[in-house]
Structure 1
Amino acid sequence: MSVRITCAALSGVLAMLATAAAAGPPRTAFVTLGTMGGPVPDGHRSQPANAIVRDGKTYLVDTGDGTVEQMARAGLPLPTVRAIFLSHLHVDHIGGLAAILGLRNQTEARDVLAIYGPPGTRELVAGLVAGLQPSAKAGYGIPGKSWTPPENTVSVIELRDGETIDVDDMKVGVAQNTHYDFAPGSVEDRNYKSFALRFDLPDRSIAYTGDTGPSAAVERLASGADLLVSEMIDMGATMDRVARTSPNMPASVKATMVQHLTTHHLTPEEVGALAARAKVKAVTVTHMAGGTPDAARTRAYVATIGKSFTGPVAIANDLDRF
């Protein structure tokens, strides 16, 4: 984990650390299970997934492909998962959900898992549950010993922009971000949303941008948070990867992708501006769509963010804890 603290901020950070030491270590950890962004596999980073870990309980925040394996590497048993929060329904953020539901069913988990997400989450989960029926009915192949009906093991709560809900001892705030460009009030806007989420716990507050472009709503949601977990895009590195993996991409498809990447994601400059305007205490950067950066690129990202934001900045790797 790389951290940068400017001289101007050093005294303030030391005071913050002294206060934290006096109060004892926070009970809550934010674990970046997967820090790869986008639909192109990296081979070095798992796809977007995170965990809030508190008092032996795990709350997943996005569930990209590989989430279960990353949980095992992080020492987080699947039965500890209390709830799942989905920021939006792009496959790189939900590809591991089927494994979570299926493995819970196969190990005959009896408790109901709550899944919170944007409009469309019910349809998504219903499809996954339907796909689990053959294995659940067959069970382990012992006559009369089928597994619990998969639909009995999950509940879905579709979130609304601007609401705050209580989940155990957390307050979870929701803000629609700018990952989609659908006109406000349109059919598309009603049916397809991308959310940023804020988790206020007794010992700390964590704001998670999800995938977003610049957004005043996200700034308001993150205001004063102890930790901002922000997505980020390096356009040059991302398009280089696209060129290598899809050299024959039609020009029209490439143009649409460029439009999406440049308007629906945050550059390092925009991450710094968001953090500064929201007056957060620290920043963790994830969703590395351009692949794993070398040391020079990492330093450049931190320096660029630091032009606006003077607090601690970390470029996350898989399985980092904050």
Structure 2
Amino acid sequence: MDLIFLGTSAGVPTRRRNVSGLALRPRESGDWLLFDCGEATQHQVMKSPLSLFRLRRIFITHLHGDHVYGLFGLLASRGMLQAETSLEIYGPEGLARLLESVMELSQLHLPFPLEIIEVSGGDRLDFDGYRIETVPLSHSITCYGYVLIEAERPGRFEPKKARQLGVPEGPLFGRLQSGETIRLPDGRLVHSSDVLGQARPGRRVIVGGDNDRPGLFAPYGAVDLMIHEATYLQRDFDRLPRKFKHSTALQLGIAAEAMGVKRLVATHISARYDREENLAALLAEIRSHYRGDAAIAYDLMELTLP
């Protein structure tokens, strides 16, 4: 599973960071998913190995501009490229009205089927090989996090067991490995469960939107990867005259450690931290409580989840 961070800034872009966008591409398929689509996300896509022709689904966490204003240009460009494959866009209530109004007023006519699906908290969206669950978050407007959960994978093939059952090496090994039941020349049936180890759970990835309570993801426990905002250092947040509903690096580190998260990437970084020493301070604050593998995302950063 490959991930590309298309935009990692909070609120406004900086010279080094665009606003929110995250691409996720399962290795088994060339198609990819997009989580949030801030302004100029299509420009970031052009700087990456991604193709708009292979974009299959978009998931919007909430309707603040830095997470959604890039949709209109991306759809228009995908249309002008004459893409014909269907595209699905998921997001909170109001998403359909927003998109349909812009498309009507700008006379945007798309050559591909477009489906807009408005979701609610606690929804389960089932797809081929994985599902996505929506988690209501704590923000100034309706906002959802998305948890991607892969389907359970078969156990590892054990050649020794197959040989003991009289299965000759060759194509029959491959058929058993893919889950088939085979018949041997003497008429005996051998089931894949006879030669496969214990089933392996699929990977779990949390994609958090804007949220000042990262502990809301606690029911998902020790996920393989958590991507979540860390907009402020705690000391700076404490001095703000108006408290915006965003997480600090300290809050994120505490929550991730309590959940047992295996790998953590912080994003949605305030423009005030655009210098390297400030980013180091954010990471140090996370690590003051979180003992796992942690990183601060940067634009066009690529990450592979084995």
TM-score, normalised to structure 1, is 0.72
1:113, distance to aligned residue in structure 2 (A): 0.8
Q: Does 1:167 align with 2:127?
A: yes
C-alpha distance in 2, partners of 1:274/1:58?
29
Instruction: Report the structure number with the largest CA radius of gyration.
Output: 2
| 1:237 Cα offset (Å) | 10
Q: 1:207 aligns to what?
A: 206
2:137 pairs, out of 169, 177, 192, with 177
> When you count helix as a share of all residues, which structure comes out higher?
1
- CA RMSD for the aligned pairs? 2.2
Using a 3 Å threshold, how does the CA distance of structure 1 residues 238 and 85 change in structure 2: closer, same or farther?
A: farther
Structure-1 separation of matches of 2:235 and 2:276? 14
Structure 1, gaps ≥5 residues long = 1-27, 137-146, 181-191, 240-253
CA contact (8 A) 1:105 1:153 kept: no
Number of the residue aligned with 1:102: 76
Structure of greater relative contact order (alpha carbons < 8 Å, 6+ residues apart): 1
Code of the aligned partner of 1:36: S
Which of residues 47, 52, 61 in structure 2 aligns to 1:78?
Answer: 52
Q: Which runs of 4+ in 1 moved over 6 A?
A: 236-239
Residue identity matched to 1:273:
I
**Is this contact kept in 2: 1:74–1:319, CA < 8 A?**
yes
Task: Find the counterpart in structure 2 of residue 278 from structure 1.
Answer: 259
- TM-score (norm. length: structure 2): 0.75
Q: For the Cα contact (< 8 Å) 2:53–2:85, is it kept in 1? A: no
The separation in 2 between residues aligned to 1:103 and 1:294, in whole angstroms, is 33
Q: What's the offset of the Cα at 1:320? A: 0.7
Counterpart Cα distance in 1 of 2:235 and 2:10: 12
Task: Tell me how far apart the structure 1 counterparts of residues 292 and 71 of structure 2 sit (CA, whole Å).
Answer: 34
Is the 2:234–2:249 Cα contact (8 Å) retained in structure 1? no
Percentage identity across paired residues of the two chains:
27
Instruction: Tell me, yes or no, if the aligned pair for 1:45 and 1:292 is still in contact at 8 Å.
Output: no
Structure 2 gaps of 5+ residues are 152-201
**Residue aligning to 1:287:** 268
What CA distance in whole angstroms lies between the structure 1 residues aligned with 2:121 and 2:70? 25
Give the length in aligned residue pairs: 249
Q: Partners in 2 of 1:291 and 1:84 — Cα distance?
A: 29
Asked if 1:307 is matched to 2:288, the reply is yes
Write the distance in 2 (CA, Å) between the matches of 1:67 and 1:291: 21
Aligned-partner Cα distance in 2 for 1:314–1:236: 17
In the TM superposition, 1:211-226 aligns within 5 A as: 211-221=210-220, 223-226=221-224
Residue of structure 2 equivalent to 1:47: 19
CA distance in 2, matches of 1:196, 1:106: 31
Q: Check conservation: 1:68, 1:96, Cα contact below 8 A.
A: yes
Contact 2:233/2:285, CA 8 A, preserved across alignment: no
- Cα 1:226–1:315 shift into 2, 3 Å: same
